[in-house]
Amino acid sequence: MESFAFDRPNTNLTRREVLAAAAAASLAAGAPRIASAAPSGQLTYGVHVALTPNWLDPAETQGIITPFMVLYALHDAMVKPMPGKAEAPCLAESWTAAADGLTYDFVIRKEAKFHNGEPVTAEDVKFSYERYRGTSHDLMKGNLASIETPDPQHVRFKLKKPWPDFLNFYSNASGAGWIVPKKYVEKVGDEGFKQAPIGAGPYKFVSFTPGVELVLEAFEGYWRKPPSVKRLVMKVIPDEATRLAALKHGEVDIAYSIRGELAEELVKTPGLALKPVVLQAPNWIYFPEQWDPKSPWHDLRVRQAANLAIDREGMSQALFLGYCKITNSIIPYTFDFYWQPPAAAYDPAKAKKLMAEAGFANGFDAGLLYCDSSYSNMAEIAVNNLGEIGIRAKLEPIERAGFFAGYASKKYTKGIIQGASGAFGNAATRLAAFVVKDGAFAYGSYPDIDALYPQQADELDHEKRASMLAKMQQLVHEKSIYAPIWQLGFLNGIGPRVGESGFGQIPGFAYTAPFEDLTIKS
Amino acid sequence: MKQFVMKRIGYCVLSLFLLSLTIFFFVRVTGDPATLLVEPGASPEDIAAIHHQFGLDRPLIVQYGLFMASVLTGDLGQSFYYRTPVTELYWSRLPNSVMLASAAMAFSLLIGIPSGILASVRVGRFWDNAGKVFALLGLSLPSFWVGLVMILVFSVYLGWLPSSGSGTPLHLIMPAFALGWYFAASHMRLTRSSMLEVLGSEYVKLARLKGLPQSLVIAKHAFKNALIPVLTLAGINFVIMISVAVVVETVFAWPGVGRLLYEGIAFRDFPVVQGTVLMLGAMTVVVNLVVDVLYAVIDPRIRLAS
């Protein structure tokens, strides 16, 4: 039976090392909290999206990153990404997984409490999982055989069949692992809970006006440590320029999403600081015609040439002040089973040579380059770059919802696609959607990659599975199925009062967290 | 009179029915809201679950029937994004929009009427030309640009006023100006032309012949009569202000109905867009009905002609 008190991927550890680490983690987790001064002061956020009551209830978690902006403050999870750990023990002090992959045992932290003072128990964990109805809930419920609660500190998940990604989905790709108080929810109902939520997070609910403002106050009984900032106010300011103005005027201390020329203005403003965060959202160029033998894209050299033609650094500098993370993979580097490819290169001369070798010395008409209109500035640069090596394309920006609907319905069979994804999961789930046969966004596939996919899905040994997934990613890279560009840089601003902002503490997370670590400068 | 009123009510009902049909089908042309509630790469099962949850997997005609059935009971549906009844969202935001529109209307009348009077008594001279420039700018400059410039000057550079939000009278000043300026221009133009018409009438000429000073002629005789069409327009404009404040409310993060509509559009929140447009349409239709009825009461020629 494997024991996990720290995250994967790891080196090959001996059983003794694992158990020793588990014991150390338990000791650290159970150690008394260091006494600290009472929380004081207030930090105000300028938030870029409308706050919705759904984000106050983990059961409604959608498959987007924005609800976690609030979840990390108000609630807590059994296991969740934390600084330095992709799967950090939180409300769960430790857990073990059976060798057959059918059982997961969790030990709940004794000092974990809800905001109403009630302890977090196994019944709450079971209840939270069973009431979950957000993203991937079919998968979570469908794979589960039963949840046992042998005592208040222990909960056991039994699966119908081995599911190697269970912990990934429980901790990362859904809200099922975020725990709410069963007695309270049953008393007030789901709607009542959204109006006055109680969680186990570092901040407790004070007031909420949908779409306008959320006010939270420090929960001094938080197991990890009491927050140092007493009050958090999240104000919705939809317009980016107004958000920056509010930051400059001192009305907000933290402003999310300040881009382009406004980000340049922020950098030049004394007292303000730009806080970029790399999101788990790679952007790429995709060649849907590569499976058509009559298409120029069928030739590997043409796809390689397109890869070499994209000036990623220049694009990042022009559009995001250079803060995007250039990547050569469609899998975010923070994902489990990520394989590190060779660095992306910009070499138009070599690209032209490859084009000539492929018989396209004079280039060819590539048709339309379809993109989400929000990122048409990026696509425009890509069109220009490709044009420099003779691949002539015309930009076709499409409003976001329409673009992704068309992308998923395999409408863009001719031309080029500029796509992206910030979906949760791991390398396997990303490959399933974008590479493997019958994937939601895969316009074709390769048999050697397809053959590996079911093998890794059934593999319980982490190392063997990692090896298979690495091989799949390597093949994706060698075949130049995609021309990955970058992982998006999400630019934010902070004001002079902010000490520790929480930006960048959790790799791939767009917002400030952990909230208990935020500080105000004295 | 009764027949006149019933006929007008019939037209109102027909207008609202056509509006509901239009907004219901047009909003669905914009795309699938489920794709905005999940990241690209989400499983088809997740998307199908959202369709089922929101009733989007039903035939369109069934969706419309259910929508109209609930509208008739006062229920505008449940917001996809907020998961809150649309009526609750609308009524919680409406007082803010009314407050903003009231302030904007007050500004537009305080600026528009005096400047219109001044322009009418100084025809072809400096104040008339200044009024024309003012009207041109007010009708031409986009309100979001005016708003952003005001934020830059009064919040960022001078630090006098808060840039966004609500809660104090200071928060109201800039959005009221940005919203009201366009209407001030139209009120100014109407006041000017209305005053010119009244100043050319026989009874005003008689007043002048009697030796009354110009100020008394304007204040006592001309102004009140010239004000009638302006106030009529102002009444209708008040409702329009609530409807068109989308951009101003978004720029200033003012928590009104306009911003709710913007959010509904941005998130493909069909019930919010349908409900908000229908409510705003209903307000416009009711105001027009009241104006029509009042006109018929005041002027019998109108009700007899109909």
In terms of DSSP H, where are the helices of A35-135? 68-74, 122-130
E strand or H helix at A383: helix A376-388
Helix axes B257-266, B270-298, angle to 10 degrees: 140
Report pLDDT for B306.
59
Bridge partners, A484 (sequence order): A284
Confidence of residue A2 (pLDDT cuts 50, 70, 90): very low
- Over chain A, what is the mean pLDDT? 91
Distances (CA, A) of B24 to B60, B263, B275, B283: 9, 17, 10, 18
Q: Is B35's Cβ below 8 Å from some Cβ in A?
A: yes
Instruction: List A residues 52-91 in contact with B (Cβ-Cβ < 8 A).
Output: 52-54, 60, 62-65
Q: Is A409's Cβ below 8 Å from some Cβ in B?
A: no
Q: Is B42's Cβ below 8 Å from some Cβ in A?
A: yes
Distance of alpha carbon A510 from the chain centroid: 8
Q: 10 Å Cβ neighbour count for B52?
A: 12
CB A235 within 8 A of CB A47: yes
How much of chain A exceeds pLDDT 70, in percent?
93
Distance in angstroms (rounded) separating the CA atoms of residues A91 and A106: 10
Judged by CB atoms closer than 8 Å, whether chains meet at A63 and B37 is answered as: yes
- If one compares A437 and A6, the residue with the highest pLDDT of the two is A437
Is the predicted pLDDT of residue A513 greater than 60, yes or no? yes
Report pLDDT for A15.
42
Length of chain A: 522
Residue (of B47, B61, B59, B75) closest to B274 by Cα position: B75
Distance from CA of B189 to the nearest CA of A (A): 32
CA atoms within 13 A on the CB side of A29: 21
* Interface probe, candidates A234, A242, A280, chain B, greatest B C-beta count within 10 A: A242
Residue (of A256, A245, A193) closest to A50 by Cα position: A256
Residues in chain B within 8 Å Cβ distance of A248: 155-156
Distances (CA, A) of B202 to A316, B198, B226: 73, 9, 14
Is the predicted pLDDT of residue A134 greater than 90, yes or no? no
Helix axes B169-199, B126-140, angle to 10 degrees: 130
Q: Which amino acid is at B169?
A: P
Report pLDDT for B121.
85
Distance in angstroms (rounded) separating the CA atoms of residues B150 and B214: 38
Q: For the segment A18-46, what is each residue's pLDDT rounded down to a tens digit?
A: 444 444 444 444 444 445 678 999 999 99
Report pLDDT for A1.
39
Distance in angstroms (rounded) separating the CA atoms of residues B231 and B224: 10
Q: For the segment A320-346, what is each residue's pLDDT rounded down to a tens digit?
A: 999 999 999 999 999 999 999 999 999
Is the predicted pLDDT of residue A56 greater than 60, yes or no? yes
- If one compares B3 and A272, the residue with the highest pLDDT of the two is A272
CB A500 within 8 A of CB A254: no
Distance in angstroms (rounded) separating the CA atoms of residues B260 and A479: 47
Distance in angstroms (rounded) separating the CA atoms of residues A507 and A278: 7
E strand or H helix at B133: helix B126-140
Judged by CB atoms closer than 8 Å, whether chains meet at A440 and B43 is answered as: yes
Q: Is B95's Cβ below 8 Å from some Cβ in A?
A: no
Report pLDDT for B198.
85
Instruction: List B residues 163-202 in contact with A (Cβ-Cβ < 8 A).
Output: 163-165
Q: 10 Å Cβ neighbour count for A359?
A: 12
How much of chain B exceeds pLDDT 70, in percent?
95
Q: Is A238's Cβ below 8 Å from some Cβ in B?
A: yes
Distance from CA of B98 to the nearest CA of A (A): 17
SS3 A491: strand
Report pLDDT for B166.
93
CB B105 within 8 A of CB B180: yes
Residue (of A235, A185, A232) closest to A209 by Cα position: A235
Distance in angstroms (rounded) separating the CA atoms of residues A369 and A309: 15
Report pLDDT for B305.
67
Report pLDDT for B304.
65
Distance in angstroms (rounded) separating the CA atoms of residues A279 and B27: 31
Report pLDDT for B37.
73
Closest-CA residue of chain B to A67: B37
Region A69-85: mean pLDDT is 95
Report pLDDT for A36.
61
Length of chain B: 306
Judged by CB atoms closer than 8 Å, whether chains meet at A211 and B260 is answered as: yes
Distance in angstroms (rounded) separating the CA atoms of residues B278 and B297: 28
Residue (of A100, A172, A111, A169) closest to A141 by Cα position: A169
Q: For the segment A173-190, what is each residue's pLDDT rounded down to a tens digit?
A: 889 999 999 999 999 999
How much of chain A exceeds pLDDT 90, in percent?
78
**List of residues 6+ apart from A349 with CB closer than 8 A:** none
Q: Which amino acid is at A277?
A: V
| Ranges of residues in chain B whose predicted pLDDT is under 50 | none
Angle at A124 between CA A119 and CA A129, to 5 degrees: 150
Nearest by CB to residue B42, choosing from A60, A63, A248, is A63
Distance from CA of B250 to the nearest CA of A (A): 6
User: Is the complex ipTM higher than 0.90?
Assistant: no
Left if phi > 0, otherwise alpha if psi is -120 to 50, otherwise beta: which for A430?
alpha
Classify residue A45 by its DSSP letter.
E
Report pLDDT for B139.
85
